[in-house]
Structure 1
């Protein structure tokens, strides 16, 4: 079957020669230390080759060497290097990449949503964030573009883009090898070979494999979780029959099964649910206690099967044809993603929900054609067209266990700690009512998108450029959601408690719309190494359809079909930036201020109904993200360099009057009148909550990355002994769509050290990550049903090891 062929990844293509803006000569750098190097870092942030410092975009560039030295071999670790970048993942499918606090709704994935941060590998758009959670293989550099990039990068880059460029095939023979070992039996190997086959044909083959024991122990299955089992392959063939024409055929395959991402007991709060129906009383009724109430003991007792296998692959053909005045580029690609999960959705060792999984298969095809002017003229341009088609098929299932009736249904006024029932006829007293209750879901999604776009660069007068852009986009989406619910005996006839727990649903949402994005940038080169810019962008994120089940209507008798679709986000963004280098380019300081407002912001809502186990999408009125970012580096000599990057981000719901309530205001009898006090068992709960003015989830007000390196020459040649440090710090952030007293994650800092020796193309070093063994959470969540149990996913503990690498 085609989807299982080992077709390997994509090749990067340069659109046009570097522009010749006024600056002194300096060596081109493509695989050096992007944070400390004083040369010109060549990037393709605007679909043409330019130097990083002259591009009027707030961006961070991390070279392959920087990534290797810091141990950032995937997107999750990349966020420690870029303060404005946030990555959250309760498992590969339920992942979100955000920039400046914006991007994707915070919560569980819905097949019908769009991401707000575009993810690109060698110019190919990746339609699902889950398909971006693989290990980096043979990466030359990573560009993180901050702020809307809708003109050149498409509709769903309202917050920014991640642009990954891999090493291209070479007509000069070369080979690279890297081996790392560490505690938890960590072993990672990477290899790459490249060279000519004929005078016009070159090849590159790359591999990566990672294995590591898990950092969390499941006492129920005697299994270590959060392990690493990753293997990746890439192959590229470059055909260059002339200096003006090149074709690169590439393909990749990446397979992972990390047995992640377990969430378990973190703390207990109090909701407005009756006291005998909150976690403490329910656990006592079953005589249950978790293996530890200290989450950093890293033990759990999950009683359901855990699995997180995914397979990612694809193929592409990139063609560049230099026509003299312009270069024509074609990027044709096919990609797939196969996801096979299993989860414990009740998060504890009681048989409440014994099966919860949504295996999913995605395929996408895309075609982009661009024409970009060559050289530097008074008026340069890039124009193009883009076509994208995506299908997703998901097979969901949820099965309730023998503890579900007592845990989920109301048993009446029962003494705390008692397993008895107020009435022997209560359904909560009968395990058979919910035991074996099964929801089998069939979910299908189709998405077709077409766009034409253009970007101009007009030098109105010396050193002053006006750069307008426009993109016209059409989206058509369709889906179907069919949920069949059967009792433990196989009957489709449900009583009221059964249908309130898992409700049969069948609906087929549709969405289509035209949208126009535009931006204009004014930039001025004050001096050879001082560049300023101002940008306004009007962008959008495509409307979505809900494909994880719909909530019930106010009467609780049928699904609310008005929630099938959500409107597109409407984005207005302003940015001012200044890029500077001075002291003979030994100091770099780039600063950007931004203000972004999004109307009809797409938020994930979970109203406590078990019928919607994964939440659904809704439009918040408006959100705003504003702040200041800076990137600074200082290299006083060849022996010493420092860097400091930071971001202040103030991201709030400007208007969200119909938001889901935080857990302390949930679980009680719902009233349209005056609710009771928060966190008091038996109090009345509001229908919705007004969280206008409150913080967006997942974003710290303050975030920093910092570090440096000092080296000493040894051996009388090019050999160096060096000591390096990379640190990151962030302030507290909310881990719930509606800020809750129970789900704030306190600020933390991480420190990584390395000590090694390098000479030319040889490097060996010892490393330690999270050197001070900081205890911190990556995310916190609530258990379904307003039980007041808060579960968490801890970050990695201290790890250490050694790496040796060589190039030939």
Structure 2
């Protein structure tokens, strides 16, 4: 079996001990691969660094610069030196990667603005960015919030990858590769400490257990004090508390057959996740039904109206326990015709949350918990072969998911006044008071939800590379996929005395209770469909270190089921809205990958144009008392832009990089969209009031065709570099170094329908590091993240009740610390 050294090992074994540099599109500034037939021995000797990036983006080992895909690669040294220990941190190095999270379950990983609806948790839909760890597909994006465990490198593939990476990779894929067991004894350890009581430790060890068996064990733990102080509980919230372990056994059954058995366990258990008061924006509700008036009526004032005071007074329990793990067995057989790979895997996910869903210190929603358990099973068979002038990959993939969520929501004593329109009178009792003034109407009102999904998917896929001549290659691909999803949603609502709240009818009191929490049920709702993805890529090498390529891809994101509930009209559950059609994607991309100055400089440029029909978008049932999120299919979305990635190493002393992206992401056709808060909550009829004008009429729906998609900036950049000098410290030969990494993004929307209240201003984050690394693997450095203590928001959100309250997550303040590491 041919051996290709991974990036980290190559960098560790070069005598010059080059400093790490952020890798762009899979390529550091200077690259020579000793086995590259296009490079002479003189080239290898003349180059300052005998290394190259090897990726498996097309399910075989290749030089990144030879792969006609827009991709970015971050190796182990870049992960360690930049503190990019999870996907949230990784996005600062990659301008077209977006990650948003209000808690681990309610997270979105997007590429070029596409992937998953921002801010919606729904068991019945799939993500559009596939996350893979050691070739195993992870169906829940919650995995992206966890620390990387003993990772070798992370490849981010941009654009549809459906023919090799699965049915739901319409935006791209994140391919995470762990370090493999080694027959040479090796290990590494790293500890970090910083302000906010930050503590992190990572360690791994690997070596032989016999002539044919090698083992590897990796551990990681991270803890940090919260960044927001809850004056109600007297504790800091939004903390970090992560623990992970991964083990692997490699059995070399013969010279041509390997088996790798691996298992992992990761756990987060922080007091999290608080979204705090940011601002109040007027809606079209009557003025006495908006936040400030409602708060005054109950003698309430937020503990601070400046979110960067980092204070809150949330009165409900907070927890975000997130546990993932599993096991996989990978077999790889080298035959005379190619390599046969089998990957069998089981994964589990347990989510045990507690939230304060009213975002205030008032007892409005006193309990909001939706614990979830999932089991996932996957089996993949893949064969990679070569022939005269061509190579190919074909495979079979099977996936089964069983997920069960049991939710509880309970209203408190302040809910009646906050949620019920005071004009509503209980006419069933003569002389009864306004329901809004009777706390007992909603106090203790409880919904028990039971949500189930059984999801099967099977696929046949293949990719063919036909080398027409030494310069031109044609690469068609296909995937035939079948989905079978069966789901149920049952929400039973009872008042404080245990009486059932009916779907419709009853008293005005019960109608008010339904407005707060709508009971409903549908069971065994099914979505079944066949789909076909295909793509065609042409690549041409006009020169030794230049690759031109163009791609057309037709792909899809699976349809699904609305398992957050659907509207109920006159007591009838609108089950016709339970199913969501698949997204249909047409994608065009063209790019150039180039290296020059003896491969000391790399410039890669990509242009892309993607249109999506039946885009899966959030729709809200805008009543005066609740916002019920569910999915529907918007008409059409278009994303187009250009990306450029440049890196340079003029000498062994200096490296630098600049990555940039322009992205024009818009709804082309979305006439039946939810309205933003400034056009919501008012009366029905005409004329429609001005945005944010209290006591006026609101449109039923809004036409947001032409508006930008949420979560994506028009411009985004990452840039930085590192400089080193030879030095001797503690009797060790090595280098002192200083490095800087920064990222800049322009304004983006944080609401499905763009709102004047939820635009997030652009910002720049700058990180510094300085330290010493020795030739024998010792490394010590100090670091500062967010050097200038930039104030920024990660997410802004409208809140239940349509009162105009905007809550959000403030970004991390300036943090600093020191890291010590040793590898051998």
Q: Same fold (TM over 0.5)?
A: yes
Q: Could you say what secondary structure the match of 1:500 adopts?
A: helix
Deviation at 1:604, TM superposition (A): 1.6
Question: Which residue is 1:692 aligned to?
Answer: 705
Of residues 268, 274, 286 in structure 2, which corresponds to 1:262? 274
Runs of 5+ in structure 1 lacking a partner?
1-13, 19-25, 415-422
What is the alpha-carbon distance in structure 2 between the residues aligned to residue 17 and residue 610 of structure 1? 62
Question: Which residue is 1:582 aligned to?
Answer: 596
Deviates more, 1:339-348 or 1:710-719: 710-719
Compared CA separation, residues 785 and 222, structure 1 to 2 (3 A): same
What is the alpha-carbon distance in structure 1 between the residues aligned to residue 609 and residue 2 of structure 2? 31
Deviation track 1:216-269 (CA, whole Å, cap 9, x = no partner) reads 111111111111111100000000122211000000001111222211110110
- Using the size of structure 2 for normalisation, the TM-score is 0.92
Q: Could you say what secondary structure the match of 1:550 adopts?
A: coil
Pairs aligned (count): 776
Question: Which residue is 1:427 aligned to?
Answer: 435
Q: Is 1:656 aligned to 2:683, yes or no?
A: no
Query: Given that residues 225 and 260 in structure 1 are in contact (C-alpha distance below 8 angstroms), is that contact kept between their aligned partners in structure 2?
Result: yes
Query: Given that residues 449 and 475 in structure 1 are in contact (C-alpha distance below 8 angstroms), is that contact kept between their aligned partners in structure 2?
Result: yes
What is the alpha-carbon distance in structure 2 between the residues aligned to residue 31 and residue 358 of structure 1? 46
Question: Which residue is 1:347 aligned to?
Answer: 359
Deviation at 1:462, TM superposition (A): 2.4
Of residues 341, 344, 347 in structure 2, which corresponds to 1:335? 347
Question: Which residue is 2:536 aligned to?
Answer: 520
Of residues 642, 665, 690 in structure 1, which corresponds to 2:679? 665
Runs of 5+ in structure 2 lacking a partner?
6-12, 32-51, 426-430, 503-509
Of residues 443, 447, 451 in structure 2, which corresponds to 1:443? 451
What is the alpha-carbon distance in structure 1 between the residues aligned to residue 412 and residue 172 of structure 2? 43
Question: Which residue is 1:731 aligned to?
Answer: 746
Q: Is 1:758 aligned to 2:773, yes or no?
A: yes
Query: Given that residues 15 and 47 in structure 1 are in contact (C-alpha distance below 8 angstroms), is that contact kept between their aligned partners in structure 2?
Result: no
Deviation track 1:747-797 (CA, whole Å, cap 9, x = no partner) reads 000000001000121110000000100000000001112100111110110
Deviation at 1:31, TM superposition (A): 11
Q: Is 1:741 aligned to 2:756, yes or no?
A: yes
Q: Could you say what secondary structure the match of 1:432 adopts?
A: helix
Q: Is 1:59 aligned to 2:71, yes or no?
A: yes
Query: Given that residues 465 and 476 in structure 2 are in contact (C-alpha distance below 8 angstroms), is that contact kept between their aligned partners in structure 1?
Result: yes
Query: Given that residues 21 and 722 in structure 2 are in contact (C-alpha distance below 8 angstroms), is that contact kept between their aligned partners in structure 1?
Result: no
Q: Is 1:101 aligned to 2:107, yes or no?
A: no
What is the alpha-carbon distance in structure 2 between the residues aligned to residue 162 and residue 248 of structure 1? 21
Q: Is 1:719 aligned to 2:711, yes or no?
A: no
Query: Given that residues 30 and 140 in structure 1 are in contact (C-alpha distance below 8 angstroms), is that contact kept between their aligned partners in structure 2?
Result: no
Trace 1:370-449 onto structure 2 (pairs within 5 A).
370-374=382-386, 377-412=388-423, 425-449=433-457
Q: Is 1:112 aligned to 2:124, yes or no?
A: yes
Q: Could you say what secondary structure the match of 2:170 adopts?
A: coil
Query: Given that residues 634 and 641 in structure 1 are in contact (C-alpha distance below 8 angstroms), is that contact kept between their aligned partners in structure 2?
Result: yes
Of residues 469, 482, 485 in structure 2, which corresponds to 1:477? 485
Query: Given that residues 674 and 686 in structure 1 are in contact (C-alpha distance below 8 angstroms), is that contact kept between their aligned partners in structure 2?
Result: no
What is the alpha-carbon distance in structure 2 between the residues aligned to residue 661 and residue 224 of structure 1? 35
What is the alpha-carbon distance in structure 1 between the residues aligned to residue 754 and residue 621 of structure 2? 14
Question: Which residue is 1:201 aligned to?
Answer: 213
Question: Which residue is 1:569 aligned to?
Answer: 583
What is the alpha-carbon distance in structure 2 between the residues aligned to residue 222 and residue 202 of structure 1? 49
Deviation track 1:608-631 (CA, whole Å, cap 9, x = no partner) reads 349976611110101000000011
Deviation at 1:670, TM superposition (A): 3.0
Question: Which residue is 1:551 aligned to?
Answer: 567
Trace 1:582-661 onto structure 2 (pairs within 5 A).
582-609=596-623, 615-661=629-675
What is the alpha-carbon distance in structure 1 between the residues aligned to residue 273 and residue 548 of structure 2? 43
Question: Which residue is 1:11 aligned to?
Answer: none
Deviation at 1:552, TM superposition (A): 2.7
Compared CA separation, residues 481 and 589, structure 1 to 2 (3 A): same
What is the alpha-carbon distance in structure 2 between the residues aligned to residue 480 and residue 596 of structure 1? 33
Of residues 817, 821, 824 in structure 2, which corresponds to 1:801? 817
Q: Is 1:498 aligned to 2:506, yes or no?
A: no
What is the alpha-carbon distance in structure 2 between the residues aligned to residue 37 and residue 805 of structure 1? 25
Compared CA separation, residues 262 and 728, structure 1 to 2 (3 A): same
Q: Could you say what secondary structure the match of 2:53 adopts?
A: strand
Query: Given that residues 152 and 178 in structure 2 are in contact (C-alpha distance below 8 angstroms), is that contact kept between their aligned partners in structure 1?
Result: yes
Compared CA separation, residues 733 and 485, structure 1 to 2 (3 A): same
Q: Is 1:677 aligned to 2:695, yes or no?
A: no
Deviation track 1:722-761 (CA, whole Å, cap 9, x = no partner) reads 0000000100000000000000000000000001000121
Trace 1:83-102 onto structure 2 (pairs within 5 A).
83-102=95-114
Question: Which residue is 1:770 aligned to?
Answer: 786
Deviation at 1:526, TM superposition (A): 1.4
Query: Given that residues 501 and 610 in structure 1 are in contact (C-alpha distance below 8 angstroms), is that contact kept between their aligned partners in structure 2?
Result: no
